Amino acid sequence: MSDAVRTLRVHRFKRGDDAPRVEEHLVPAHEGTTVLEALRWIQLQEDPTLGLRHSCFHASCGTCGVRVNGRERLACVTRLSDVEGAVIVDPIANLPVLHDLVVDMAAFVARFPQPHPIVRESEFLPESSPADGIDDHERYEDCIECGLCLSACPVAATDDTYVGPAALAYAQRMIEESRGGDREALLHWADQDAGAWRCHAAFECTEACPSDVRPAQRIMALRRELRGRRTDHDRAVPDRPATVTGASA
Amino acid sequence: MSERSPRQGRDAGVDEILEGRREPGPVARKLPGPVAWFDIRGRSTGHLAFSLNRITGLGLVFYLYLHLLVLSTLLRGEGSWNGFLEIATTPLFLGFDVLLVFGLLVHGLNGTRLALVGSGFVPNRQKALFWSFMIFGAIVLVYTAIHVFGSEG
């Protein structure tokens, strides 16, 4: 049973449109209604053509990233009751819009260095041992690749060549725990104008990250590595190996 | 009876429409161009510091050229320079001097903070560093303003 009616102003755009427009909907809501549930209500009750992307409903998949009243949020865990006034929902910024609230995540993933493993060794008590039949404990990386950090970054707002916080934080994780990766190639990848040095330390990525990856702190750690490497090698590094690719300056 | 593939059965123009929809749309922006740098609504301390650094940086570059322009009055002789000095001691101009010191303090202190944070020394203390430096800067600014206006006349 609904307690209130909330106004949602939703960004609408379809390829071929001249310009985006804002569509207003009145949505029944109660204390726990999330932005994603409200968007789904619009989709089911009023306009089935509303384009949005979602999957898990519990902040694990990172697919429902949007901007709610200008702030980067996962729609599935953002309650309407936590937002004052009209709820303005926009797609995440700094990526091409495909349809309404759906952005082209290929443009996000293309920024990452390759290869791009997402499984890593799990934190476990040193005295523990894997159960019989299990070689090792593994877990997914914390980054859910939602793109909120790139949307929040003020540098990415004016520089599409910048690889962005998620890709740099990923590179730092790989350097921290290389899992057989080419550490030197990753450092070389990050040591570019559009890489770690483009960050201007606004720390908005860390504020926006719903998964506590702390991308800004990782970029700073990466810079420290790069600074030491520059001192050691004076940038006399061979050409970039073909195994590491991604956006370049 | 001839067989037709589903594609052959389409109305003319459908392929053209579908082709257009394969192209991604425009990149979503919060605000047009560099205006986004200065939109601190609902943003954190880091973004405030970023915006202040940009504004003061642009202001200091503007001042540099203004300063060179002012110095060029020397080329027009002693009378011209003395005329400028009369303007330079008015309260309004002294206010601009204090504004200049504000810009120098914010940009310099924030730059020091960025050097410390950006080189990986204190990445987890960026907010505390910002406010510490700004409080220090405010004290220096008040001291400077008292001396600048105190020397008037």
Contacts of B117 in chain A (CB under 8 A): 201, 220
Are A196 and A120 contained in the same domain?
yes
Specify if A166 maps to a domain: yes
Specify if A177 maps to a domain: yes
- pLDDT attached to residue A242: 42
Interval A192-217 mean pLDDT: 94
Contacts of A217 in chain B (CB under 8 A): 123-124
Tokens in use for A152?
Answer: 């929040």
pLDDT tens for residues B79-130? 888 888 888 888 898 999 999 999 999 999 999 999 999 877 788 889 999 9
Tokens in use for A47?
Answer: 């306009």
Are A132 and A88 contained in the same domain?
no
Are A228 and A212 contained in the same domain?
yes
Are A153 and A44 contained in the same domain?
no
Are A196 and A122 contained in the same domain?
yes
Expressed as residue numbers, the domain containing A155 is: 107-233
Tokens in use for A226?
Answer: 């790069």
For chain B, the domains span 34-150
Are A81 and A147 contained in the same domain?
no
What total of structural domains would you count in chain A? 2
- Residue A173 sits in a domain whose CATH number is 1.10.1060.10
pLDDT range class, residue B1, cuts 50, 70, 90: very low
DSSP letters spanning B61-91: HHHHHHHHHHHGGGGG-HHHHHHHHHHHTSH
Select from A69, A103, A137 the last residue of a domain: A103
Interval A226-242 mean pLDDT: 61
Q: Does A160 touch chain B (CB under 8 A)?
A: yes
Do B27 and A96 form a contact (C-beta atoms < 8 A)?
yes
| CB atoms inside a 10 Å sphere around CB B10 | 12
What is the maximal distance between C-alpha atoms in chain A?
67
Closest C-alpha among A71, A66, A15, A70 to residue A38: A66
pLDDT averaged over every residue in chain A: 87
Are A33 and A111 contained in the same domain?
no
Closest C-alpha among B126, B115, B106 to residue B60: B106
Do A11 and A68 form a contact (C-beta atoms < 8 A)?
no
- Is the Cβ pair A203, B126 closer than 8 Å? yes
Select from A62, A82, A103 the last residue of a domain: A103
Q: B93 in helix, strand or coil?
A: helix
Interface of B with A (CB under 8 A): 17, 20-21, 23-31, 33-34, 36-37, 39, 41-47, 49-51, 53, 114, 117-121, 123-124, 126
Q: Find, in chain A, the residue whose alpha carbon is nearest to that of B113.
A: A201
Between A19 and A134, name the one with better pLDDT.
Answer: A19
- pLDDT attached to residue A249: 35
Q: Find, in chain B, the residue whose alpha carbon is nearest to that of A159.
A: B33
Contacts of A90 in chain B (CB under 8 A): 28
- Is the Cβ pair B119, A96 closer than 8 Å? no
CATH code for the domain defined by B34-150:
1.20.1300
Specify if A241 maps to a domain: no
- Residue A79 sits in a domain whose CATH number is 3.10.20.30
Specify if A247 maps to a domain: no
- Is the Cβ pair B120, A13 closer than 8 Å? no
Alpha carbon separation from A129 to A125, A132, A134, A178 (Å, rounded): 8, 9, 9, 22
- pLDDT attached to residue A247: 44
- pLDDT attached to residue A159: 92
Do B120 and A227 form a contact (C-beta atoms < 8 A)?
yes
Q: Does A209 touch chain B (CB under 8 A)?
A: no
Q: Does A71 touch chain B (CB under 8 A)?
A: yes
Between A51 and B12, name the one with better pLDDT.
Answer: A51
- pLDDT attached to residue B5: 54
φ, ψ (nearest 5 deg) of residue A121: -65, 135
- pLDDT attached to residue B152: 58
Selected for mutation to probe chain B from A15, A73, A82 (highest B CB count within 10 Å) is A15
Do A209 and A149 form a contact (C-beta atoms < 8 A)?
yes
What's the gap between Cα A147 and its chain centre? 2
Interval B37-42 mean pLDDT: 88
What's the gap between Cα A203 and its chain centre? 14
| CB atoms inside a 10 Å sphere around CB A87 | 22
Are A96 and A147 contained in the same domain?
no
Residues 6+ apart with CB under 8 A from B25: A13, A15, A17, A96, A97, A98, A99
Instruction: Report the range of poorest mean pLDDT among A13-27, A121-135, B41-55, B91-105.
Output: A121-135
pLDDT range class, residue B73, cuts 50, 70, 90: confident
Closest C-alpha among A246, A123, A148, A125 to residue A188: A246
- Tell me: pLDDT of A46 over 60: yes
- Tell me: pLDDT of B20 over 50: yes
- pLDDT attached to residue B151: 65
DSSP letters spanning B45-56: HHHHHHHHHHHH
- pLDDT attached to residue B11: 65
pLDDT range class, residue B31, cuts 50, 70, 90: confident
Select from A77, A103, A129 the last residue of a domain: A103
Specify if A245 maps to a domain: no
Are A122 and A228 contained in the same domain?
yes
Q: B112 in helix, strand or coil?
A: helix
Between A171 and B23, name the one with better pLDDT.
Answer: A171
Going by their DSSP bridges, the two strands A65-68 and A97-99 should be labelled as unpaired
- Is the Cβ pair B24, A98 closer than 8 Å? yes
Contacts of B45 in chain A (CB under 8 A): 203
